[in-house]
Structure 1
Amino acid sequence: MKRVAICTLFHKNYNYGGILQGLALQNVLRDMGLDAYLVTYNDKANKNPIYTTLLSRCTQYSFIEICCKIKEILTATTHSEIKAKIKPRIELFDRFISNNFYMTDLYSDGSLSLLEKEFDVIISGSDQVWNPNAVRKLYLQDFSVSNGTKKVAYAASISRNKLNNKEAKIMIPCIEKFDAIGVREKTASDILGSFGIKDAKIVLDPTMLLSVDEWNNVAAPCFVTEPYVLVYSFSDCPFKDSLSDFYIKKNMKVVFIPYAKQKYNSFDNNCDLIPMWNVGPAEFLSLIKNSEFVYTDSFHGSVFSILFNKQFAVYERDKSGTTSKNSRMYDLLSIFGLDSRMIRDDHKKVLENKIDFSNVNEILEKKRIESWTWLKDAVDSQ
């Protein structure tokens, strides 16, 4: 049985999408008959090979963006009262990971070359493993592989519209050495193509390789008794007053997950919304599955809305920034013909118009088969 290492943003990553995409890829590979493990790797203990210092990271932002970053740091959840409220959520994450994942021992940059002795295939992905701000030697597989161990990327995301010269100089030579490259967004395929890497395949996020029945088995039972709208937000949310007014008229509650990014945003202090504190990955799935509507700026918030056939609307996050991640949202919506779910000016129209999921589900099934087949071929071929 082939042994497969999955290199993704996983260890101590208390992000719902990050954990669930790792679980999905692990389960898909194991269903293929492979012995798959997630590599335990502490991002914070290992340097970004591009932006090695705080000063160098600042060079990619405008003055306004730097000010926003400073504000984020100042409003991070360091207060003891906030930490106490979030602690049960972290415990739910840790329990979920312990109960559902096959993991390696802890690796560091100095021990990465040992992976080749343990595994036949090393997969980078899914998620933002090639985002220049998050990239590490592990995700670029920038270590010696000499015994025929296969290098694969699955649904790797750059999460940018472009790479600057400094980023490309470090990343492209490593990516060129991969045996098979699957990326999550068309934008990533276009970026790699501009540097001569023409064979990158656009594939689905691994969460979409699992059926809704499989996700139903992971989701916690419904724990909100009244009809509700879910707001899952990583940034200050526009149109919040219109959103509240619209659903108050329909006698629905509006619930949200506070400190989703462990930083304040406008929803965290909005007393009209109902906070859901004790939400781990299973509870997160339940909140989406049982909602009447999802309002989000999150990639995986949108993905699971599609999987559970939920009415949803998306708004842009940090749309003016040079490091804006909105390209992944545009690409996802475009694949499923859901571009109209992006709220711009006419937000009421988006809230009122309903999605016909019959065509969406047909596209999903076709893309799921294509992506599964590509992944199977990538790990099986010699």
Structure 2
Amino acid sequence: MKTFNSSKEKWGQKNVVDNVGIEDFVKLIKDCKYLFSDSHHGICFGLIYHKNFICIANKSRGYTRFESLFNLLKIRNHMVDNAREIIGNDILLENIDYKSVDTILEEEKKSSLEWLTTVLNKEKKENESKNTLLVKTLNKLHRLERENKKLKEI
């Protein structure tokens, strides 16, 4: 709760909601008019629910995740490295172009699904090859055992 306590002190008690379970966390984001967050998951839910937001990229909790996501979606202008950058920065208040964001996300989902399907099918084929080799080896072993048994009978 160290992070929560420092956020509560920084932003004031009325602006920070505490003791929130997962369901309430998601619902608060879904129902908000504007999202202000330093949480990667909070921002991801903001994207899912098409919320306009300002993100303070948290350097102590996965800054590169923020940077990668915002650069990929071409929304870097909605991310700041510290709260002081918000003051007087009207670009942050521009609406997010969710048509563009959704197009990029759909392309990424498609690409990811293709990659996953390829990898899983490759693994399946490799497993089939291994199984085929195992069956052939076992059949050969049984044949050798039968031949050995016949030789012993002679």
Deviations 1:215-238 (A, max 9, x none): xxxxxxxxxxxxxxxxxxx4xxxx
* SS of structure 1 residue aligned to 2:32: coil
TM-score, scaled relative to structure 1: 0.28
The equivalent residue for 1:271 is 13
CA distance in 2, matches of 1:266, 1:300: 16
Report the Cα distance in structure 2 between the residues aligned to 1:371 and 1:305, rounded to whole angstroms: 21
Q: Point out which structure has higher relative CO (alpha carbons under 8 A, 6+ apart).
A: 1
SS of residue matched to 1:284:
helix
After superposition, the Cα gap between the structure-2 partners of 1:305 and 1:266, relative to the gap in structure 1 and judged at 3 Å, is closer
Q: Is structure 2 residue 71 aligned with structure 1 residue 329?
A: no
Partner Cα separation in structure 2 for residue 324 and residue 274 of structure 1: 18
- Structure 1 counterpart SS, 2:103: helix
Could you tell me which runs of 5 or more consecutive residues in structure 1 were left unpaired when the two chains were aligned.
1-75, 78-233, 235-258
1:166-315 map, 5 Å: 234=3, 259=4, 264-268=5-9, 270-273=12-15, 275-277=17-19, 279-315=20-56
Structure 1: distance between partners of 2:49 and 2:61: 27
Segments of 4+ moved more than 6 angstroms? none
Displacement after TM superposition at 1:308 (Å)? 1.1
In proportion to residue count, which structure has more strand?
Answer: 1
What amino acid sits opposite 2:80 in the alignment? I
CA deviation after TM superposition for structure 1 residue 358, in Å: 0.8
Question: Hey, what's the Cα distance between the residues in 1 that align with 2:111 and 2:74?
Answer: 18
Conservation of the 8 A alpha-carbon contact between 2:8 and 2:16: no
Q: How does 1:113-124 map to 2 (within 5 A)?
A: none
Instruction: State how far apart, in whole Å, the 2-side matches of 1:305 and 1:343 are.
Output: 16
Residue segments in structure 2 that go unaligned for 5+ positions in a row: 124-154
Cα distance in 2 between the residues matched to 1:305 and 1:350: 18
Q: Highest CA radius of gyration, 1 or 2? A: 2
Q: 1:1-382 maps to which residues of 2 (within 5 A)? A: 234=3, 259=4, 264-268=5-9, 270-273=12-15, 275-277=17-19, 279-318=20-59, 325-343=62-80, 345-347=85-87, 348-382=89-123
TM-score (norm 2): 0.65
C-alpha separation in 1, matches of 2:31 and 2:120: 36
- The code of the aligned residue for 1:340 comes to N
CA contact (8 A) 2:38 2:57 kept: yes
The whole-number CA distance in structure 2 between the counterparts of 1:371 and 1:329 is 19
Change (3 A) 1:266 1:366: closer
Does the C-alpha gap of structure 1 residues 307 and 266 become closer, same or farther in structure 2, counting only changes over 3 Å? closer
CA distance in 2, matches of 1:295, 1:380: 42
What SS does the corresponding residue of 2:46 show, helix, strand or coil?
helix
Partners in 1 of 2:115 and 2:15 — Cα distance? 43
Structure 1: how far apart are the matches of 2:62 and 2:16?
Answer: 27
What amino acid is the match of 2:50? N
Cα displacement (A) at 1:379: 2.3
- CA apart distance, 1:351: 4.4
**Contact 2:86/2:92 (8 A) holds in 1:** no
Letter in 2 for 1:375: L
User: Using the alignment, how far apart are the partners of 1:377 and 1:313 within structure 2?
Assistant: 37
Instruction: Please report how far the alpha carbon of residue 338 of structure 1 lies from its aligned counterpart in structure 2 after TM superposition.
Output: 0.5
Give me the whole-angstrom Cα distance separating, in 1, the residues matched to 2:101 and 2:120. 28
CA distances 1:61-108 after superposition (whole Å, capped 9, x unpaired): xxxxxxxxxxxxxxx57xxxxxxxxxxxxxxxxxxxxxxxxxxxxxxx
User: Contact 1:343/1:350 (CA < 8 Å) preserved in 2?
Assistant: no
Per the TM alignment, residue 289 of structure 1 is displaced from its structure 2 partner at its CA by 1.1
Q: CA offsets, 1:147-185, max 9 Å, x none? A: xxxxxxxxxxxxxxxxxxxxxxxxxxxxxxxxxxxxxxx
Flag the 1:372–1:282 CA change in 2: closer, same or farther, 3 A. farther
The secondary structure found in structure 1 opposite 2:74 is coil
Which secondary structure does the structure 2 equivalent of 1:295 belong to? strand
